[in-house]
Amino acid sequence: MDNERNESKQIIIRERRKTKQIGRILWIVTIIAGILGWIFWNWFAFPISIGLAFLIGSIYSYRVTKRVEIDTNLSIEEQEALLKNRFIQESKKNYGLRHKDIIMDKKIPITPFEVIRRIKDIPKILEWSRKKHLTVSGPEFWGIHHIYIDNFLKHVIFCLKADLTTHVFIGIPTGAKEWKKYDKNVRLLFSKQLSDDSLEWKIYKDIVLYKGKRLPPKEIPAEPYWGEVVGVETFNDDINDQWIVSKIKELYNK
C-alpha cells in the first residue's frame, strides 16, 4: 500500500512539473507572438494570443489531470490530499515546528504594486522597527516565529522546531548574514556565514516577506513567502551570543 502511494506521489509530482515547464514555454511563446502580431498586424493580436494560450493551457492541464487520474486511480481531490500530506510530512522533517498546526501556504496578501507603493515608507518603517519584538505567523514551515530588532537595527529571527532544536538567523534590515543551529540542550551545533541571497526579508508593520536559497522552492519562483505580524512589543536588550541562548530557553518555556 505504501509503495503504491509513493509511486502515485511520484507520478503526480512528475506530471505537474512537466505541465509547469510546458506552461512557462507556452506563455513565453504567446507573449512574443502577441507582441509581434501587435507590431505587424493589429493591437488585438495580443489579447487574442493571451486568450488562446489560456484556452490551450486549460485543455492541456485537464488532459494531464485525467491521465494522472487513470494512472493512479486517484481523483483530483485525492491527488491534492496526497500532495498536501506529503508537504506536511516534509515540513515536519525539514522545517519542523514546535506547535501542532502546520498551515498550507496561503495566497500572498500583498501585490507587487503594493510593494512598490510602500517603497516610499521604508525609512519610516525602518525607524518604527527599531527596538521591537515582532511575533510572526507564517510561512507554514516556520509557523509562529520571533523577530528581535535592537537599537542598532541588528535583526535576529528565532525558529523553534518540533524536535526542540532551534534555527537562529542573524542579520540586518534586508536579510540574514549568519545562521546558527542549537540542539535541544541549547548547545551550538553549527554557525555559518550566509551570502546575501540566502535569506532576505522585508519587514512591514503588518507583514514580513521572505525569499532566498535557504527556503523551500515555490510554485511561482519570484513570489516571496510571507508571515503576518500578530504581535509587537518593545525590546530594549542588547543582542549577543549569551542573550540568544537565554532567549531560546525563554521561548521554549512560554
Provide the pLDDT for residue 102: 43
- DSSP 8-state symbol, 110: S
Peptide bond into 139 cis (omega under 30): yes
**What is the b/e burial string over 195-207, where b = at least 16 CB atoms within 10 angstroms of the residue's CB?**
eeebbbbbbbeeb
Three-state DSSP at 208 gives strand
Nearest-angstrom CA–CA distance, 25 and 31: 10
Phi and psi of 245, rounded to 5°? -60, -45
Q: What is the pLDDT along the chain (254 residues), one digit of tens a residue?
A: 555 666 766 776 677 777 777 877 877 887 888 788 888 887 777 777 777 777 787 787 778 777 877 777 777 666 666 665 655 555 555 444 444 444 445 677 877 778 878 888 888 999 999 999 999 998 988 889 999 999 999 999 999 988 899 999 999 999 999 999 999 999 999 999 999 889 999 999 999 999 988 888 776 667 889 999 999 999 999 999 999 999 999 998 87
Closest CA to 7 of 72, 80, 78: 72
Provide the pLDDT for residue 146: 97
Which helix (H) or strand (E) is 65 found in, with range? helix 45-72
Place of cell 515536519: 92
